[in-house]
């Protein structure tokens, strides 16, 4: 009996410790906000929210690609400290334990950002989370359509190109025909062109297909090219072309040879006259016999 009671007590202790582990009141991150894509030369806010659950905050640290650039320690004076890092310009006055503000981000600001939060003694618990941020150099010009003609007719071949403005990363191009995404078999892909000191990229996408009746809507065909970069850039260019009217085929002529002295109508009238004469002769002949 005593042995059974001891086993039950041990089981209860194990259960209690297991539950305590599952509902541990300890430091935890509640939300970390790091935008995936941002435009070059803009101001960006990175956020790190946490719940101390009764613990005292020891420090909040921010890293880019494994290198620390911002530290917040409440007991220090001043509490915030910066570490120089290429591509990172922190607005110290507007940065706190829950957010940092980056001014005038550049292409060098692209990277993996990590927030690390630590509790005071005796636990010294540490939690962290990270996210990737890409800085986008937006195109200075809209996508351009080249190679098109003002008019097409059924059977003609359309050969046009869409060229994006220089950007980084390269823009994604999509062709539409009368508002519908073009058939993949119509697309002609070219290598990305890289130019300049910053390595800006130009995308070219061709469209080639033979015109069919279904490509015209009320006599027009609309070709549209859309350039996008994530959710930070969307531009389009559209051309509307007319369909040429098909020339009417010449009227078919009869192969029958015309009578040298008259038309077909004349011959028909003559034939009817001959029939009447024959019938009249036969009638007169019968009368003569009588």
Domain shared by 33 and 89, yes or no:
yes
The residue with greater pLDDT, 172 or 15, is: 172
Residue 9 resides in a domain = no
Q: Which residue has the tokens 């892909």?
A: 189
Lowest-pLDDT choice from 47-51, 93-97, 179-183, 279-283:
279-283
Give the CATH number, domain containing residue 231.
2.60.40.10
Look at phi and psi of residue 149 and say left if phi exceeds 0, alpha if psi is from -120 to 50, else beta.
Answer: beta
Chain-centre distance of CA 94, in angstroms?
35
Domain shared by 183 and 132, yes or no:
no
Residue 249 resides in a domain = no
The residue with greater pLDDT, 242 or 208, is: 208
Residue 1 C-beta-side C-alpha neighbours within 13 Å = 0
What tens digit of pLDDT does each residue of 151-202 get?
Answer: 999 999 999 999 999 999 999 999 999 999 999 999 999 999 999 999 999 9
Lowest-pLDDT choice from 21-35, 37-51, 96-110:
21-35
Contacts of 243 (CB under 8 A, 6+ apart): 151, 152, 153, 154, 216, 219, 220, 221
SS3 144: strand
Write down the pTM of the prediction. Answer: 0.70
Query: Contact 55/119 with Cβ under 8 angstroms?
Result: yes
SS3 233: strand
Q: Could you tell me the residue range of the domain that residue 123 belongs to? A: 24-136
- How far is 4 from 122, CA to CA, in rounded Å? 38
Domain shared by 123 and 149, yes or no:
no
Query: Contact 182/207 with Cβ under 8 angstroms?
Result: yes
Name the domain count of the chain. 2
User: Count of H helices and E strands in the chain?
Assistant: 2, 20
What is residue 122's predicted lDDT score, i.e. its pLDDT? Answer: 85
Residue 12 resides in a domain = no
Domain shared by 31 and 127, yes or no:
yes
Strands 233-243 and 151-152 come out as parallel
Domain shared by 178 and 220, yes or no:
yes
Domain shared by 223 and 180, yes or no:
yes
- How far is 69 from 4, CA to CA, in rounded Å? 59
What tens digit of pLDDT does each residue of 85-126 get?
Answer: 999 999 999 999 999 999 999 999 999 999 999 999 888 899
Domain shared by 127 and 163, yes or no:
no
% of residues, the chain, pLDDT over 70: 75
């Amino acid at each position: 009996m005593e042995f059974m009671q001891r086993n039950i007590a041990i089981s209860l202790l194990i259960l209690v410790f297991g539950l305590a582990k599952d509902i541990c009141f300890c430091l935890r991150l509640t939300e970390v906000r790091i935008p995936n894509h941002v435009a070059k030369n803009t101001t960006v806010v990175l956020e790190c929210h946490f719940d101390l659950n009764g613990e005292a905050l020891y420090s909040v640290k921010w890293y880019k690609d494994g290198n620390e650039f911002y530290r917040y320690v409440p007991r220090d004076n001043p509490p915030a400290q910066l570490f120089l890092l290429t591509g990172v310009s922190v607005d110290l006055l507007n940065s706190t334990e829950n957010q940092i503000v980056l001014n005038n981000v550049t292409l060098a600001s692209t990277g993996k950002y990590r927030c690390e939060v630590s509790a005071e003694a005796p636990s010294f618990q540490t939690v962290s989370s990270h996210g990737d941020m890409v800085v986008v150099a937006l195109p200075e010009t809209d996508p351009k359509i080249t190679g098109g003609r003002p008019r097409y007719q059924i059977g003609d071949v359309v050969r046009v190109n869409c060229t994006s403005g220089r950007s980084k990363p390269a823009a994604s191009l999509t062709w539409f025909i009368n508002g519908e995404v073009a058939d993949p078999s119509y697309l002609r892909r070219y290598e990305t062109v890289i130019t300049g000191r910053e390595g800006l990229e130009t995308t070219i996408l061709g469209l080639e297909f033979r015109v069919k009746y279904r490509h015209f809507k009320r006599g027009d065909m609309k070709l549209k090219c859309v350039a996008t970069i994530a959710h930070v850039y969307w531009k389009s260019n559209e051309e509307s072309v007319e369909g040429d009217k098909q020339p009417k085929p010449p009227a078919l002529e009869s192969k029958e040879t015309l009578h040298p002295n008259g038309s077909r109508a004349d011959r028909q009238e003559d034939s009817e006259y001959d029939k009447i004469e024959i019938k009249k002769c036969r009638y007169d002949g019968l009368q003569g016999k009588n």
